[in-house]
Amino acid sequence: MNKILKVLFYVLTTAGVVLMVRLSLPYLAFQPEIDFLRTKIFAYQLWHWRLSFYVHVFTSTFVLIAGMLQFSRYVLLKRTRLHRASGYTYTAIVLLVSGPSGLVMGFYANGGLPARISFVLLATLWLLFTTIAFILALKRQFERHGAWMARSFALALSALTLRAYALSIGLLHLEITPAKAYVLIAWLSWTLNLVVAECWIRCGGVKRLMHQYRPQS
């Protein structure tokens, strides 16, 4: 069962990475009339929001790839340098680029105050969890590091789950207004991810991942 869930995790995450690339490519035109930007006419005029948006969009793929490598047992046990490199890459992008840009965007989110609170809280927790994970790695408390990385990556995956929930609501033709649907999606996109991550941690997921791992001095 664990192997099936692991394969499913990597398949869905890889598919999500491909989706993010496809969704990001149109924004290379740097025009305000493209997809999501059509709803951000006011915010697009603000240079700090515009910079945050493009930075956030174009780094999302690298965050997902680097984060996914962190949870590969093969990479952890057999390719330690790749594990460390991907960890440093993930941490640097989240703390210096994606996290701060996401925080800026959160203050201008669609959906009113409830959605803004959700996205600001998401970005804040993402920065916090990633910082804690990095500090624990430096202290060589690797099992605790793994747990906080799982929480951090769960928040990173909100970029995918948000779109999945939006698609599901459309396919199910739920009787809910667009505004209420967006607020619902804004909160579900990361809170449910954290619940799943916490269950995985408390069910011994980190211990199984790190079984036979011998840290290098």
Residue 182, exposed/middle/buried by CB under 10 A (0-12, 13-18, 19+)? buried
Res 165 pLDDT > 70: yes
Number of domains in the chain: 1
Assigned domain for 214 exists? no
Assigned domain for 160 exists? yes
Assigned domain for 200 exists? yes
Half-sphere exposure of 100 (CA within 13 A, CB side): 9
Tokens 């989240």 locate to: 94
Assigned domain for 215 exists? no
Summarised one tens digit per residue, pLDDT across range 50-83 is 999 999 999 999 999 999 999 988 899 889 999 9
Assigned domain for 216 exists? no
Interatomic CA distance for residues 182 and 168, integer angstroms: 12
Assigned domain for 81 exists? yes
- How does 119-154 read in b/e, with b if 16+ C-beta sit within 10 Å? bbbbbebbbebbbbbbebbeeeebeebbbbbbbbbb
Q: How confident is the model at residue 3 (pLDDT cuts 50, 70, 90)?
A: low
Assigned domain for 217 exists? no
Assigned domain for 34 exists? yes
Residue/partner pairs of 45-54 with CB below 8 Å, 24 or more apart = 46/108, 48/104, 49/104, 49/105, 49/108, 51/101, 52/100, 52/101, 52/102, 52/104, 52/105, 53/101, 53/105, 54/27, 54/30
The pTM score is: 0.91
Domain that holds residue 177: 2-209
Summarised one tens digit per residue, pLDDT across range 178-192 is 888 899 999 999 999
